[in-house]
Structure 1
Amino acid sequence: MGSKRLDGKRVVVTGASRGIGAAVARRCAAEGADVAIVARTVDAADAYLPGTLGDTADELRRFGGRVTLIQADLADEADRERVVPEAEAGLGGPIDVLVNNAAVALYGTVADYPLKRVRLMHELNCVAPLHLAQAVIPAMTARGEGWIVNVSSGTARHWPGPPFRLGGTGTGTTVYGASKAALNRVSNGLAAELHGCGVRVNTVEPRAAVLSEGARDLVGDIVRPDQVESMEEMVEAILALCDCPADHTGHTHISLDLIAEFGLTVRTLDGDPR
């Protein structure tokens, strides 16, 4: 296994029952971190898709660090309020790294999109990451060091046109993309406010689709092989922002471009050479 890049770090990863969140948590544990994993799904009885916090915890414990499970619905403000205190209690101290990965993607045409779903997506995809960031910032600024990584999406970008080239999902990703565009803007503004305090805030999105369980359920039948990047590549980009230097903040990155820019070697989820 490679060097322990996150030795002694306490990390919170949301949306960690499956997909990108579970993979990031595993790689952080492999790199020596103590990890708090957050999601709604604790065991298989609650699962709509494969993957639970229990499954992720079993993977993480192989690496010997502390692991704490936090069941929470991040669309609920009261649940969010207890995430960071429970993580600190379970990991034995203040949080060094927050990875806001949890999200909901509900696709539909804009003209008749239900407003209840609009509010839900903005609450989970933008408000929740900001709320959790606000909870970890005081301790990070007191120590003069911290990393906040927000997982975004290419759907935040505008379609040029007319004519509009919409792709296989049509306009269906519009409201989801709007919530991720809001996340990018909040991240940038937060980074600007915290610049000089040692707290880095960045977002990263996949260049292509990462076919996690949720993504496969949504778009797996319309994505071509050349439109897919590996889970290991996405995780490598996220990890780079979990220990980036103090002056690297306020950026919205694309995963594969970041890997090239930093000259990274993509490793397995266990931190080994591929």
Structure 2
Amino acid sequence: MTRVALVTGASSGIGEQTVLQLLDAGMTVYAAARRVERMAALADRGARVIGMDVTDDASMVAGTDRIAGEAGGVDVLVNNAGYGSYGAVEDVPIAEARRQFDVNLFGLARLVQLVTPGMRERGYGRIVNVSSIGGKFYEPFGAWYHATKFAVEGFSDSLRMELRPFGIDVVIIEPGPIRTEWSGIARDSLLETSGSTAYSAQARRAHGVLEEFDKPSRSAPPEEVARKIVRAVTVRRPAARYPVGRGARVITTSRDLLPDRVFDAVVGRIYGSRRP
């Protein structure tokens, strides 16, 4: 039986590559994103394109209803939509902080609510939540982004235990630095938010660090993450989480092993966030 997959954030980067690789794996794939015009190439490859905003409940309901009507429902949900908005906590408007949670967590959770009943009835489902190594460690100016990813980790772990008795697997993908639009959006928002405040010197230092992680020697292509997602979707018994990308496993493991004071010192040395 051909599985039906829904991939959010499909207009670029990890989402786009995941759609292509799931198509190659023989699945019926619905590619969802706000920027429908950017998914023409995916449609040409055989993807079914859906305009969807994960902060708009009506668009999520309409999208999942369409899939149910055309294909019988979603067997595989890849919650990939998300972004990083950076800036000092003092400077970031609470409205922007809420939007981070709306996109990165609550949209993800709402889609889970919409597709779970059908998966439960069929006795099969695979939910893949794209988190980040940023759900395991921390850095200055990324407080709201990291908060959303820590939340995705806890949400997914609890969800996995709830849905396991119904034959539904929940998997967390934890990318490290990946060469996508994400880094540019994050570092640009950092300077826009805190580049002219009391945090300006630190913000410029952090901007440079984020630029470094865009270099091929420090990051991985989105295709690498997509391959890991396809593995998580197609293996009989997936792992609970998959770190992926350059240094991802090293960073998550070191965070588990190092005391807070030592890890603070490491992060502070990189970002210049040390006590005078």
**Aligning the two structures, in what range does the TM-score lie when normalised by the shorter sequence?**
0.7 to 0.9
Q: 2 CA distance for matches of 1:22 and 1:126?
A: 20
Letter in 2 for 1:237: K
**1:184 equivalent in alignment to 2:153:** yes
Residue 79 of structure 1: aligned partner: 59
Q: 1 CA distance for matches of 2:126 and 2:143?
A: 29
- Work out whether residues 20 and 235 of structure 1, in 8 Å CA contact, stay in contact via their aligned partners in 2: yes
Residue 212 of structure 2: aligned partner: 222
TM-score by length of structure 1 reads 0.76
- Work out whether residues 105 and 121 of structure 1, in 8 Å CA contact, stay in contact via their aligned partners in 2: yes
> Could you tell me how far 1:243 is from its partner in structure 2?
2.2
**1:32 equivalent in alignment to 2:23:** no
- Work out whether residues 29 and 35 of structure 1, in 8 Å CA contact, stay in contact via their aligned partners in 2: yes
Residue 255 of structure 1: aligned partner: 244
Letter in 2 for 1:234: V
Residue 105 of structure 2: aligned partner: 126
Residue 134 of structure 2: aligned partner: 155
Residue 256 of structure 2: aligned partner: none
CA gap 1:42/1:11 in 2 versus in 1, 3 angstroms: same
Tell me, which stretches of 5 or more residues in structure 2 are unaligned?
188-209, 250-276
Question: Could you give the per-residue CA deviations for residues 81-127 of structure 1, whole angstroms, max 9, x where no partner exists?
Answer: 2221122234x212110000001221111122210011111111111
Q: 2 CA distance for matches of 1:88 and 1:54?
A: 22
> Could you tell me how far 1:212 is from its partner in structure 2?
1.4
Q: 2 CA distance for matches of 1:158 and 1:202?
A: 19
> Could you tell me how far 1:55 is from its partner in structure 2?
2.7
- Once the two structures are aligned, what percentage of the paired residues are identical? 29
Q: 2 CA distance for matches of 1:183 and 1:231?
A: 20
- Work out whether residues 155 and 177 of structure 1, in 8 Å CA contact, stay in contact via their aligned partners in 2: yes
**1:18 equivalent in alignment to 2:12:** yes
Tell me, which stretches of 5 or more residues in structure 1 are unaligned?
1-6, 44-51, 62-66, 160-165, 261-274
Letter in 2 for 1:35: V
Q: 1 CA distance for matches of 2:181 and 2:127?
A: 24
> Could you tell me how far 1:218 is from its partner in structure 2?
4.0
> Could you tell me how far 1:252 is from its partner in structure 2?
3.1
> Could you tell me how far 1:8 is from its partner in structure 2?
0.7
Letter in 2 for 1:124: V
Q: Secondary structure at the match of 1:13?
A: strand
Which structure would you say has the larger Rg?
2
- Work out whether residues 147 and 243 of structure 1, in 8 Å CA contact, stay in contact via their aligned partners in 2: no
- Work out whether residues 121 and 179 of structure 1, in 8 Å CA contact, stay in contact via their aligned partners in 2: yes
> Could you tell me how far 1:230 is from its partner in structure 2?
2.5
Letter in 2 for 1:12: L
Within a 5 Å distance, the mapping from 1:59-138 to structure 2 comes to: 60-61=45-46, 67-90=47-70, 92-138=71-117
Residue 191 of structure 2: aligned partner: none
Q: Secondary structure at the match of 1:69?
A: strand
- Work out whether residues 68 and 87 of structure 1, in 8 Å CA contact, stay in contact via their aligned partners in 2: no
Residue 200 of structure 2: aligned partner: none
Q: Secondary structure at the match of 2:6?
A: strand
TM-score by length of structure 2 reads 0.75
Q: Secondary structure at the match of 2:141?
A: coil
Q: 2 CA distance for matches of 1:156 and 1:125?
A: 12
- Work out whether residues 70 and 87 of structure 1, in 8 Å CA contact, stay in contact via their aligned partners in 2: no
Letter in 2 for 1:235: A
- Work out whether residues 85 and 185 of structure 2, in 8 Å CA contact, stay in contact via their aligned partners in 1: no
The one of 142, 146, 154 aligned to 1:173 = 142
The one of 179, 191, 195 aligned to 1:211 = 179
Query: What is the total number of aligned residue pairs between the two structures?
Result: 225
Q: 2 CA distance for matches of 1:20 and 1:38?
A: 13
> Could you tell me how far 1:26 is from its partner in structure 2?
0.5
- Work out whether residues 154 and 177 of structure 1, in 8 Å CA contact, stay in contact via their aligned partners in 2: no
